[in-house]
Structure 1
Amino acid sequence: MHASESLAVRPATGLPCPVIVGHRGASAYRPEHTAASYELAIDLGADLIEPDVVVSRDGALVVRHENELSRSTDVADRPEFAHRRATRVVGGRQRTGWFAEDFTLAELRTLRAVERMPALRPLNTTYDGRFGVLTLAEVVEIARRRSTPGRQVRVLAELKKPSWAGRHGLPMVELVAAELRRLGADTPDGTVVLQSFDAAALRQLRADLGNRGPTMLQLVDDDAGDDVLVSPSGLREVSTYAQGIAPSRHRILLRDAEQSLTGVSDLVAQAHRAGLLVVPWTLRPENAFLPRHLRRGTDPIGHGDAQTEARLLLALGVDGLITDAPEVAVRARAELQTAAAAAPGLSR
């Protein structure tokens, strides 16, 4: 079944199809989750920009990759916060560092963003310290300000461990529902689309916001623990509370231990049969993340042929791509759309 044939049975979300999502902005080129990263992603053609959301001590919805702050901010270099260093178990893993839930929003505002993967993206360190910490509302404001009558920019907000946060006195699900209502972003075609690995939290949000609430995607990791979500029965269950899945791209383009492509799965077709969109993550341009045959040179941080990986996924009928380099996916989408437009003439 071709993507165009399956669109009729998939949910109406107001999204163009296929969409390009700027993962934490254009994080291949700017420190993630900064205003500069989001603005650049839009400039490069992203239809949506993707913030990760955690909660501050005073209940603010803050944009950071995770609640531990030392990899993405300068908090470790701030002597006034040295006593906040702590060790705790988050999502089954013991972590030591500085945690968003120990800071008020005002305190988080004093921190400066830094490149989270400096060894992989050394050029991004040029921007260290230039940008502050944003809230979800501020990312929504960027998307709305940059939208035009002909191009609506939206926000794909990933909720980070919301059930864990709730068990620790930070009711993220309730805070998100209230914030979406306040922002007027609580409808299927609103500015905000939600995603999370936490199925229980998505179900709770669906119950709270109703069937006319925001579009939601169930994130699916490539660990065996998430296999149940992409079984036929699991996909049917996901369709009761979400409009799509956002799986690891490795569940679609299969690799062996040597990182060579070995084939493709039928996940896209299976999800479409369940009436679900499919928006895989995360396409990155560096050789370190690409299948072996698409690498160019031997330097892990060198850029390879990510456009071909994007083109492969789009040709399989995915409904969007989540990527650190939006312009690469935009080019792949344009290439396939041009080929599709030419196909009828070629067949005559």
Structure 2
Amino acid sequence: MICRVQYFYYYVSSKLYTIKNMNRLCVFYFVRVQHILKQTNLLFSTGVTNIQSESLFCRPLVIAHRGASGYVPEHTLGSYALAILMGTDYIEPDLVLTSDHQVIARHDNELGLTTDIALHPEFASRRTTKTVDGAKVNGWFTEDFTLPELKTLRAIESLPEIRPGNARLDHIFQIPTLQEIIDLTKGLEIIHGRKIGLYPEIKHSLYFRTLGFPIEQLVVDILHKNGYEGSEAPACIQSFEIDALKELKNITQIRLMQLYDHPSLQPFDQYQKGADLTYGDMAAPDKLSEVAKYAYAVGPDKSYIIPRDQSNRLGRMTNFVNDAHEVGLKVYAYTFRAENHFLSAEYISGDRQPTTFGNFSAYLQVYYATGIDGIFCDHPDVPVRLRNTCSKYPQL
């Protein structure tokens, strides 16, 4: 069995993996595994994909947020592969579209923050200003480029001041398509002998549909083609928009997640319709029961579960988790990051440098005690270690 190999490096420092020097240690492999898939038919049986439900995974569930984005630039095959090596249950690609209707992984459709497009003079004339979800954004946009054009770009770290180690991997990884991510995942399932799930998030649904791009159908078609069908498939599609999820409910039985932004904000599709519904309103028990009619789970910002006070310390637990569970919704909170910059005051490490890892394990345990079902995490190795007594990895 032949496999094309791209290598990336990270240096093992203390108990945590920190990228220090690309020339130190080669520890991972198989960033592209298309040849594996072409030479085996094991993956194309629906029996392989659908026999596992989330009940077979360890708890709390670990969802690698944009891959292992605390260690490698986000939404790259390297980031997803490292997350799988670290033992994550699911990887989370954010999905947008190209001009030729290809589904690719970027956190936003604007490319300047996460790619080196500014270094490409051939694309300088395509810089423009658009209104995306009600906000004016200046830059380069995925929907103005074909996939072959975007494949000439390379990813860069989106938080270089907080994650300077990641920035050493700038200009290495391409923008992956959803199909490439699936190929990687299924290839690594064979290598690691366990099921690995997908938690794709559809970005800017109404925006793309207004442009005539049927993003929901395109995503579903790819997932179905690869055997992700039915409520038992190891996949869950996320969106901040209510109407997008209701549309998905009509075209797939794959599980769905309603994401929750800041309580004062509105789902953009609701704002456009003139509704006054906010995410805060949607956290009330009666509104959670409405969400449960179309969604399997909710994905709140972690402040819905334990808010912080004015001193940046954790406050008292809310009723959100209990209320959601009461109407049958799973709760997967976001986003958990290990650096001091993102932690509450009592879990910041002694040197207080924003780039230093704080007492992340203890911070996670506080949230685990609330009864959440899982987390979106940039550093998936830490929550995986916290539940290291679990041996219930689903086997192929």
Normalised to the residue count of structure 2, the TM-score between the two structures is 0.79
Deviates more, 1:301-310 or 1:148-157: 148-157
Instruction: Pick one of 102, 112, 122 that aligns with 1:80.
Output: 122
Counterpart contact for 2:54–2:234, Cα < 8 Å: no
Q: Does 1:201 align with 2:244?
A: yes
| C-alpha separation in 2, matches of 1:99 and 1:163 | 16
How far did residue 15 of structure 1 move? 5.6
Give the distance between the partners of 1:309 and 1:158, measured in 2 at CA. 26
Q: Which one of the candidate residues 143, 157, 160 is aligned to 2:200? A: 157
Deviations 1:108-141 (A, max 9, x none): 1111011111111111111111110101111112
Q: Is the 8 A contact 1:87 1:94 kept in 2?
A: yes
Task: Pick which of 39-48 and 179-188 moved more.
Answer: 179-188
Match of 1:319 in 2: 373
Describe how 1:274-285 pairs up with structure 2 within 5 A. 274-285=327-338
What residue number does 2:218 align with?
175
Which region of structure 1 is more displaced relative to structure 2, 80-89 or 17-26? 17-26
What residue number does 2:261 align with?
Answer: 221
Quote the Cα distance in structure 1 between the aligned partners of 2:376 and 2:121.
Answer: 37
2:174 is aligned with 1:120 = no
Task: Name which of structure 1's ranges 284-293 and 177-186 shifts more when overlaid on structure 2.
Answer: 177-186
**2: CA distance, partners of 1:69 / 1:258:** 35
What is the letter of the counterpart of residue 216 of structure 1?
L
| Cα distance in 1 for residues equivalent to 2:337 and 2:247 | 32
Cα distance in 1 for partners of 2:100, 2:286 equals: 40
Q: Quick one: structure 1 residues 242 and 15, their matched pair in 2 at CA, closer, same or farther if it must change by over 3 Å?
A: farther
Counterpart among 290, 314, 322 of residue 237 in structure 1: 290
1:310 is matched with 364
Give the Cα separation in 2 of the matches to 1:34 and 1:15. Answer: 27
**Following the alignment from structure 1 to structure 2, what is the Cα–Cα distance between the partners of residues 316 and 135?**
36
Separation (CA, whole Å) in 2 of partners of 1:198 and 1:333: 33
Instruction: Report if the CA contact (8 A) 2:66-2:75 is conserved.
Output: yes
How far apart, in 1, do the equivalents of 2:335 and 2:243 lie? Answer: 23
The reply to whether residue 96 of structure 1 matches residue 149 of structure 2 is: no
* Secondary structure of the corresponding residue to residue 354 of structure 2: coil
Shift of 1:258: 2.4
| Residues 31, 37 of structure 1: 8 Å contact kept | yes
Higher helix share: 1
Rounded Cα–Cα distance in structure 1 between residues aligned with 2:368 and 2:113: 33
Counterpart amino acid of residue 218 in structure 1: Q
Give the distance between the partners of 2:127 and 2:379, measured in 1 at CA: 33
Q: Deviations over 1:208-255 (max 9, x none)?
A: 22xxx1111111113323112211121111111110001101111110
For residue 387 of structure 2, give the secondary structure of its aligned residue in structure 1.
Answer: helix
Indicate which of 147, 153, 157 corresponds to 2:189. Answer: 147
2:316 corresponding residue in structure 1? 263
Residue 150 of structure 1 deviates from its aligned partner by 5.6
Alpha-carbon displacement from aligned partner over 1:172-203 (angstroms, at most 9, x marks no partner): 11212222222221222224321111111011
CA distance in 1, matches of 2:54, 2:386: 23
> 1:291 corresponds to which residue?
344
The one-letter code sitting in structure 2 at the alignment partner of 1:68 is E
Of 191-200 and 129-138, the range deviating more from structure 2: 191-200
- Contact kept, 8 Å, 1:144 with 1:191, in 2: the verdict is no
Q: Percent identity?
A: 37
**In structure 1, what residue type is equivalent to 2:141?**
F
Whole-angstrom distance in 2 between the partners of 1:102 and 1:207? 29
8 A contact 2:154–2:172 mirrored in 1:
yes
Judged with a 3 Å threshold, the aligned counterparts in structure 2 of structure 1 residues 275 and 66 are, in CA distance, closer, same or farther, namely same
What residue number does 2:209 align with?
A: 166
| Root-mean-square deviation over aligned CA pairs | 1.6
Structure 1, unaligned runs of 5 or more? 1-11, 339-348
Aligned partner of 2:24 in structure 1 is none
Partner of 1:5: none
Query: So what's the TM-score if we normalise by structure 1?
Result: 0.89
* Runs (4+) off by over 3 Å: 12-15
State the alpha-carbon separation in 2 of the partners of residues 35 and 150 from structure 1. 19
The one-letter code of the counterpart of 1:33 is H
